[in-house]
Amino acid sequence: MNEAMADLRVRWLGRMEFADALSLQEELLAQKREDRSLEDELLLLEHEPVYTIGRTPDKSSLLGSAHLPHPLFAINRGGQATYHGPGQLMGYPIIDLRRCGQDLHRYLRWLELLLIELLANYGITAWQREALTGVWIDHRKIASIGVGVRHWVTMHGFALNVCGDLSPFNYIIPCGINNVSMTSMEKETGKAFSVVDVARVFEKLALDRIIRLRIGQEAQPVNV
């Protein structure tokens, strides 16, 4: 994949353990905090099966944890429990929001619209839902978003269900939303998809659309 364009570096990392990807994000975030001139990054990858939950005292979305068939990580993002695994495209942007108006909500909407545009490339009509972060097809959720921000630099990001087994979601209340139905590109279309091929399309969109996140934005003197 192209690794440098519009000062956003995109890297395809293949399939890797969640702990390794988390360590890499932490390393990149620390480097960017030390040197704000470093280019923004977007990591695209798949995970081995894992559950994660955000920084919340309410752990009810886990339905307990002893029954979970895969490891669980509590991490510094927003949101409730979710599952990541093979067949899911993970995107971890390491972006300095001081260059984007220091507007976290605008960043979240940018991610959602990128995913909606990606799906449209495959003939899948998806949209946002008011008061619910993520991307939806009717009442079925096809992509989840959970981000962390330190000193206005983002980490974590999105998970798009491309193909593969969705049954691990049955062990939790996905994103803490009761009776939510999880879906995938494969399930919606009946067609076969490759995560790496979908990642290539997303890379091009991200490089083309990063300007939408940055243009005309002035940093405000607010600390995170």
Q: Is 100 a catalytic residue?
A: no
- DSSP states of the chain: ----BTTEEEEEEEEE-HHHHHHHHHHHHHHHHH-TTSPEEEEEEEESSEEEE-S-S--GGGS-STT-SS-EEE-SSSS--EEE-TTEEEEEEE-BGGGTTT-HHHHHHHHHHHHHHHHHTTT---EEETTEEEEEETTEEEEEEEEEEETTEEEEEEEEE-SS--GGGGGS-GGG-TT-EE--HHHHHS----HHHHHHHHHHHHHHHHHHHHTT----S---
Q: Given the residues 53, 135, 175, 180, select the one marked as catalytic.
A: 175
- Please identify every residue annotated as catalytic: 175
